[in-house]
A and B are shown apart, each in its own frame.
Chain A
Amino acid sequence: MTTTQLTDWLLAPGLAPDPADSLAPLYTGAAADELHLPHCAACGLALELEQRVCDGCGGAEVIWRAVAPAGTVHSVTVVHRREPGLVLAEEPYPVADIELASGHRLVLAPVFPGTAPPAIGDPVAIGFRRLGEVAVPGFTTAPAAHDPYPEEAS
């Protein structure tokens, strides 16, 4: 099963992140529908995305590797303010702060339009949106909770 959409339902392509920046491994993995996140090479601790030195052991080598695309909702909002020219969605959209099973935290939008906001503590899966030329992670809830617009799914 793939959860990648060809065009983004939420945002204008100008908001695509720079895929060559310090998070490049994340975007390269996302392009292959995998969630790659940084760990300490020495002790394996889950690191923050821009962390360079491990706070657990002091190790300075960071390795990015695929992690389980699953987590639970730490917090969630529904954004009502939609800046013209930046936000394409015509309705308020949820954004969730997700505690991943890998130990990382990511703030993500839903992969699919029409996703009902999950509750704090709900399980979510990680899929991918395609924003401009860049694949970015997003969350999906249980299948019943969203309208998957199957004609747009790849």
Chain B
Amino acid sequence: MNAPAIVGLGATVMSTSPGGEAAALAAEAVGAALADCGLARSEVDGLLVGSSQGVRPDRVGVQLAAQAGFGDLRLLEHIEIKGATTIAMVERAVLALREGVVRTVVCVFADAPVRARGSAGSMYAHSGGNSGVRGLERASGLLGSVPTYALLAARWLHVHGGAAEDLCAVALAARAWALGNPAAVQRTPLDADGYHASPMVAEPLRRLDCARPVNGAVAVVLAADPGVGEGARVAVRGTGRAHPVRRRRTGAESWFGGGRPAVDSALGHAGMTRGDLDLIELYDPFTVVTLALLEEYALCLPGQAGELARAGQLGPGGELPTNTGGGQLSGFYLQGMTPLHEAVVQLRGAGAERQVPGAGTALVGGLGGRSDHHACLVLEAA
């Protein structure tokens, strides 16, 4: 049997202005992905839906099947593993295709946090509720998601002897890539002075250390049968998941540990090693996460992520091309669809100004919770 492949890719415009509701955006991205590979809705028998959790009442779900004009389906699920959802959706599709349960699966993620009233930051500050651990954290002034990652970033820099320059270097690399990506929402050139002029949100994280929420959607179409779809295919060579249960106790470290098996698994399926990867597309909601994941996934030598970033190796022309569309930081924040979309574009050779020459393989990572959920794919140009 042929390896399941991504045969279609579709996206809406990524908007930082209010407008669009999640279901309409999702339907639009699905339509674009099907058009991309020349399929009709009637030829789709699987639909997997992902949405941003918790924050918004109008999240997309299984009702999208009816809303987006599909007919009868054999697979329909709303998957929810926080930020790992999107990459896990692709894994779910791959497994269903391998089992022969379905022939053509659409995976879509949509989000619309940007509203006319109040900033996205304001909406995040107001969400989270008053109960449980989160209620206590919010009562301690931990509003929105930035202060939580600021605590992680402060600890990271303390333990690794790093400095704000490490975070700055990640932000600059992301922006340098975004300059070549028409879909990126932050495309003005950025230098270190510009980074340091960015407002502090929660030390050490500045606004430019944080992902940029957008209203938008991305969809992909997967099939194993070479007769399904037309155009460039990107094979899913391997998938991996890791859900480490880490205890927040005295003496335990703040981050990670336990994510590496997801990468090992995906590479193992693919029969590849880390040295075979041409592109690294990670989930980067905050600059510090890029550094931490490079080390957690053993994509660099221990303790070297900051140095790699400062040496420009993550950016255009670097040895370890990472988040080549600008990532979530300068590109757009659509959870795992951000790294997945970029990997497919690059492996199709459609990256234009930002195309990494000769890119044939990519690692794509999804990350959920506070680095509690890891989902990885190894993709290869087919």
Chain A positions within 8 Å of B, measured between CB atoms, are 10-11, 15-18, 21-23, 26, 46, 48-50, 55, 71, 74-81, 83, 86-87, 92-93, 95, 97, 99-109, 120, 131, 134, 136, 138
Which residues of the other chain, A, contact B154 by a CB distance below 8 angstroms? 75-77, 120
Q: CB within 8 A of A23: which of B133, B153, B201, B202?
A: B133
Bound form: Cα–Cα A97–B153 in Å:
12
Q: Which of A18, A77, A104 contacts B203 (CB 8 A)?
A: A77
Task: Give 5 A-B contacts (CB < 8 Å), ordered by A residue.
Answer: A83-B144, A92-B203, A95-B142, A105-B250, A131-B139
Report the nearest B residue to A26, measured CB to CB.
B136
Asked whether B248 is an interface residue with its Cβ less than 8 Å from the other chain, the reply is yes
Q: Are A95 and B136 in contact (CB under 8 A)?
A: no
Which of the four size classes fits the interface of chain B?
35 or more
Task: Indicate if B115 sits at the interface (CB-CB under 8 A).
Answer: no
* B41 interface contact, C-beta 8 A: no
CB contact under 8 A between A75 and B199, given known A11-B139, A17-B136, A105-B248: no
Please give me the 4 A-B residue pairs with the lowest Cβ-Cβ distance, nearest first: A75-B155, A77-B150, A83-B125, A17-B135
* B200/A80 in contact, CB under 8 A: yes
Asked, given contacts A23-B135, A81-B201, whether A97 binds B155 with beta carbons under 8 Å apart, the answer is: yes
Is there an interface contact between B155 and A74, defined as CB atoms closer than 8 Å? yes
Task: Decide if B141 touches A11 in the complex (CB within 8 Å).
Answer: yes
A95 touches B139 (CB 8 A): no
Is B117 positioned at the interface, with any CB of A under 8 Å from its CB?
no
Q: How near does chain A come to B145, taking the closest CB pair, in angstroms?
A: 11
Does the CB pair A21–B135 fall under 8 Å? yes
| CB-based contact B144/A81 at 8 Å | yes
Which B-chain residue is minimally distant from A100 (CB atoms)?
B250
In residues 313-371 of chain B, which contact A (Cβ within 8 Å)? none
Chain B 144-164 per-residue mask, 1 if CB under 8 angstroms from chain A, else 0: 101100111111001000000
The answer to whether A83 and B155 have CB atoms under 8 Å apart is no
Q: Are the CB atoms of A15 and B202 closer together than 8 Å?
A: no
Closest beta carbon of chain A to B207's beta carbon, Å: 9
Q: Which of B226-254 contact A (CB under 8 A)?
A: 245, 247-252, 254
Inter-chain contacts of B249 with A (CB < 8 A): 46, 48, 99, 103-105
* Partner among B139, B151, B202, B248 whose Cβ is within 8 Å of the Cβ of A81: B202
Could you mark each residue 126-140 of chain B with 1 if its beta carbon is under 8 Å from any beta carbon of chain A, else 0?
100011110111111
Q: Roughly how many angstroms separate A15 CA and B126 CA in the complex, as a whole number?
A: 9
Q: Min CB distance, B252 to chain A, in Å?
A: 8
Q: Once bound together, how far apart are the Cα atoms of A124 and B93, in whole Å?
A: 50
CA distance A23 to B153 in the complex (A): 28
A108-B140 contact, Cβ under 8 Å, with A46-B249, A77-B203, A79-B147: yes
Task: Give the chain B neighbours of A75 by CB distance below 8 A.
Answer: 151-152, 154-155, 158, 254
- Interchain nearest-CB distance for B142 vs A (Å): 6
A residues less than 8 Å from B248 (CB atoms): 48, 105
Contact status A10-B141, CB under 8 Å: yes
Chain B residues whose C-beta falls within 8 Å of the C-beta of A15 in the assembled complex: 130, 138-139
CA distance A105 to B133 in the complex (A): 11
State in angstroms the CA–CA spacing of A93 and B201 once bound together: 11
Minimum CB distance partner of A75 in chain B: B155
Q: A74-B254, A79-B202, A80-B201 are in contact. Are A86 and B126 (CB under 8 A)?
A: yes
CA distance A76 to B154 in the complex (A): 7
Q: Is A86's CB under 8 angstroms from B125's CB? A: yes
Chain A residues within 8 Å of B144, by CB: 81, 83
